[in-house]
Amino acid sequence: MFTHIFFDLDGTLTDPAPGITNSFIHALKYFGLPIPSYEELCKLIGPPLPYSFETTFGFTHDKAMEGVAKYREYFSTKGLFENKVYDGIPELLESLKADGKKLLIATSKPEEYSVRIAEHFGFAKYFDFICGSRMDETRSKKEEVIAYALECAGLAKSGREGVLMVGDRFHDIEGARKNNIKSCGVLFGYGTCRELEDAGANFIAQNLKDLQKIIKNS
């Protein structure tokens, strides 16, 4: 039985596409680079920012960190609130809390921004801990964030069999596997079924109704 549910933030609890894509556009304009299509920019939702700048745009590590800084010029003041909570998420979280589940956010987004987003959109109250990366992009890999969340929940050494990681990208699934916890991929975010299956998701949820069944019937 799952007692602790770890949720990714972007693409799982909220649809952050406008804020994230606008922040990437702001950074890419600074470097004088062509702007990819909206669909291509949406593929960057989920992974840590340095990873996206390095793998998608071929930046060196130092240039990627400069890109992160330019991205945050926009995101820190405008982009983080260009966001929308998925329909049904507050009701799901309230139901899980009523069932006695411990809920945590485990995201590669900086913890400072994640707390601000959760508080702004009114769902911080459902979570026991909101765990994210540091502003210097350390602890940004999903396996590192999940390990931190396990520590916050008092599960660093035992009790992991009761933990489920819920996310929409392969990083969520791989991060869960590296921490020896089960995972559920959701298809209402920005990952594909193939991506999540190939990463080794234990469960796949088409929608929130499926997700609730997986959690409650485990």
Rounded CA separation 145/9 (Å) = 12
| Inter-CA distances, 196 with 1, 79, 128, 156, Å | 22, 27, 27, 25
C-alpha closest to that of 111 among 90, 140, 73: 140
Cα 71 vs. chain centroid, distance in angstroms? 17
Rounded CA separation 81/59 (Å) = 27
Around Cβ 213, how many Cβ atoms within 10 Å? Answer: 12
Rounded CA separation 136/50 (Å) = 11
Rounded CA separation 161/115 (Å) = 27
Is residue 206 packed enough to be buried (19+ CB in 10 Å), middle (13-18) or exposed (0-12)? exposed
Is 8 among the catalytic positions? Answer: yes
- β partners of residue 164: 5, 182
C-alpha closest to that of 18 among 73, 80, 110, 67: 80
Choosing from 8, 15, 168, 172, the catalytic residue is 8
Residues annotated as catalytic are 8
